[in-house]
Structure formats: C-alpha cells, structure tokens
C-alpha cells in the first residue's frame, strides 16, 4: 500500500486576506453552493465545502453550509407549495438528504483531508456517515411529513422502472422468467443504489478538489518534501478491512429475510467499491505507460467496449479485490501531479 499521509496535526493558516475579499469570497461560495443543492451540480457540493474549508477555515465552511442550505430551501419552497403534497415531500426529502448524507459528511472529513489521509479511507469514512444521514432523513420525514417514507418512494420507483424494462424485453421476445432474479435483487438493493450515488458524488468531488490550486498550495505550505497527491483517482486504495465486509456479505444467499437483505446490500456495495478500485488500478497502468492523452482516450474507449460484454466489470472487481494482497500499482509506478495524462 502506498503511504500518502502528510503527517501533520494542525492545519497551516492561509495568508491573511482583507475583510472585503473574505466577504466577497464567502458570498460567491454561498450562491454557488446553494445552486448546487437545487441542480445536477450537487455532485460537487463536497468539493465546494472542502475548498472553502481549506481557503477560509473550518468555521467559514460550516457557515457556508448553513447559509447555502437556507437559500436552497427558499429556492425550492415556491415550487413545492405549487406542487402536490407528494411532490413537495419528495423535494424536501431530497434537500434534507443532500444536507445530512452529503454536505455534513463532507465537513466531517475535512480534518482528514487537511491531514492528507488516503483517498479510500476518507471515502469510506464519508460513506459510513452518509448511511447515518440517510437513516436520519428517513426517520425525520416520517415524523414531520405524515408518515411519508423516502425509502418507500425509492422502492416504488425501482419497481416501476424494473416493470417497464421487463415489459420492453418481453415485447421483444425475451421470456419474462429470465428477469425474476434481477427484479428480486434490484428491488432488494435499493439502499445500495442510493449509496452508489453518494459514492460517485464523493469520488468526483475529491478528485476535483485534489486538482484545485488551493489544495496544491496548501500541501506545499505543509511540507517541502515531494508528496504524492492522495486525491488523484489512480491513488484510490480501499482499506484492507473491507475484505471482512465482502466475506460477510457473501453469505447473504444462504440466509433469508432481513439478514439476507442486509447482506445483499453489503455485498453489492463492496463489489461496487472494488470495481472503483479496479478502475483506479487501470488508470494507474495507463499513466505508467506514458501513452499521452490520445493513448489514454483509446484505452478508456477499449475498456468501455469490454464493459458492454460484461468481461471488464468482472476483471476490475477481481483486480480491486486482490489489490490488497498484490499491490498492483506498486510495479513500475510513475507518480505525477497531472491526472489527465502522463508526461
């Protein structure tokens, strides 16, 4: 495993900035983050909060979260009032979920990011906090929205999508009984689908954050020694204890009821995480070959074609799973600060 920790206990103060510049910067952060809450750009909410924390301090980051959340609530309120009760409850649940399962975990891992802890460790810590955030969102909406359940709504939507998909294949001549297993396990793994979305949010945000100038300058002030950037995607390395979760989830087909549902979700989530680690290994190999931007693009296109066949996802999961034992990226590794291509 590659050590990327920056071995410092306290954050280094940023250069002093005038009060006017701080106010303008905070106003920009607040408006941009509020728009992220109510648009598809929510995938970068953690990056915005982390960037603010690095540039302006943790207190500023918490203030940013509070103000942007209030503005986002005000932005969705008119549309929620004009819509049906179910649509309004869904909008409120969505905003509350973003706040509790994405924004709060992002600020909780800010100290870990300041210390430069490993990508995989930060990601898993944020995911654990997100699970609690989703649970609190469910309980809160049930208490204040007359029993409305965001989880039940997600399950119903999953059933609708599966039914529509199966009907299309049956119409094309595929026997319906071939989809019985898929329908059962997809509906059972709705929590995993939500967590996969959360995982993608944190991966995108951490990778983006690791490429920002404020982070690079922060690292340079923390240490004069050359340090591997932990938040390049190719440096994603999951903790070894995740193997125990894989083993526990693997027994889900042998049980029934709630234990089976929990085990199935654990197994599906762990497999997705190992799939991501496999992609990171593939990315590191592409960088190590020094093929440049066009060669890298060709490699990813080839991988995309193999994805369609179903071979690539299996191989990537296996590579991610066994990386803890063999450390595939250790051989002929070239560490560069540029994530887009090697020099």
Convert the pLDDT of each residue in 134-172 to its tens digit: 999 999 988 887 778 888 888 888 778 887 877 777 777
More confident residue, 336 or 291: 291
Domain of 101? 19-231
Query: 74, exposed or middle or buried, with CB in 10 Å at 0-12, 13-18, 19+?
Result: exposed
Task: Let me know if residue 343 belongs to a domain.
Answer: no
* Pair (88, 225) in one structural domain: yes
Task: Let me know if residue 297 belongs to a domain.
Answer: yes
| DSSP state string for 233-282 | GGG----TTHHHHHHHHHTGGGS-HHHHHHHHHHHHHHHHHHHHHHHHHH
The model's pLDDT over 241-268, given as tens digits with 9 standing for 90+, comes to 888 888 888 887 777 778 888 888 888 8
What is this structure's pTM?
0.82
Task: Let me know if residue 13 belongs to a domain.
Answer: no
* Pair (170, 284) in one structural domain: no
* Pair (145, 226) in one structural domain: yes
The model's pLDDT over 184-213, given as tens digits with 9 standing for 90+, comes to 677 778 888 889 999 999 999 999 888 887
Q: Is the pLDDT of residue 122 over 80?
A: yes
Domains contained in the chain, number:
2
* Pair (132, 175) in one structural domain: yes
Task: Let me know if residue 56 belongs to a domain.
Answer: yes
Task: Let me know if residue 69 belongs to a domain.
Answer: yes
Report helix angle 19-37 to 58-82, nearest 10: 40
Instruction: Give the phi and the psi of residue 15 in degrees, each rounded to 5.
Output: -55, 145
Task: Let me know if residue 191 belongs to a domain.
Answer: yes
Nearest-CA neighbor of 317 among 277, 265, 283?
A: 277
Q: For residue 332, what pLDDT band results from cuts at 50, 70 and 90? A: very low
Distance CA 148, CA 337 (A): 47
* Pair (41, 117) in one structural domain: yes
The pLDDT score that the predictor gives to residue 199 is: 94
Q: For residue 45, what pLDDT band results from cuts at 50, 70 and 90? A: very high
Distance CA 343, CA 338 (A): 8
* Pair (147, 288) in one structural domain: no
Q: Is the pLDDT of residue 342 over 80?
A: no
Task: Let me know if residue 286 belongs to a domain.
Answer: yes
* Pair (166, 273) in one structural domain: no
């Amino acid at each position: 495993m590659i050590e990327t920790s920056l071995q410092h206990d306290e954050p280094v103060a940023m250069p002093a900035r005038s009060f006017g510049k701080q106010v303008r910067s905070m106003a920009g952060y607040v408006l941009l983050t509020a728009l992220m809450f109510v648009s598809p750009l929510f995938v970068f909410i953690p990056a915005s909060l982390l960037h603010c924390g690095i540039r302006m301090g943790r207190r500023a980051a918490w203030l940013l979260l509070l103000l942007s959340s209030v503005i986002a609530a005000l932005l969705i309120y008119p549309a929620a009032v004009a819509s049906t009760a179910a649509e309004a409850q869904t909008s409120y649940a969505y905003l509350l979920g973003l706040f509790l399962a994405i924004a709060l975990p992002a600020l909780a891992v800010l100290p870990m990011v300041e210390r430069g802890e490993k990508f995989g460790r930060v990601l898993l810590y944020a995911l654990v906090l997100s699970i609690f955030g989703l649970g609190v969102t469910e309980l809160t909406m049930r208490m204040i929205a007359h029993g409305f359940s965001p989880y039940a709504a997600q399950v119903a939507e999953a059933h609708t999508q599966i039914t529509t998909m199966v009907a299309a294949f049956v119409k094309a001549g595929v026997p319906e009984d071939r989809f019985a297993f898929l329908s059962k396990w997809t509906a059972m793994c709705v929590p995993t689908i939500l967590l996969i979305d959360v995982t993608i949010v944190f991966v995108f945000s951490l990778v983006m954050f690791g490429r920002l100038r404020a982070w690079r300058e922060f690292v340079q002030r923390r240490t004069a020694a050359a340090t591997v950037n932990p938040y390049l995607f190719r440096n994603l390395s999951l903790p070894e204890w995740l193997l125990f979760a894989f083993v526990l989830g693997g027994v889900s087909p042998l049980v029934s009821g709630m234990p089976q549902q929990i085990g199935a979700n654990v197994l599906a989530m762990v497999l997705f995480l190992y799939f991501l680690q496999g992609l990171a290994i593939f990315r590191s190999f592409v960088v190590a070959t020094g093929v440049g931007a066009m060669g890298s693009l060709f490699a990813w296109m080839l991988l995309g074609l193999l994805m369609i066949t179903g071979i690539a996802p299996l191989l990537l999961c296996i590579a991610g799973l066994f990386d803890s034992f063999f450390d595939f990226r250790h051989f002929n590794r070239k560490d560069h600060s540029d994530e887009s291509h090697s020099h």
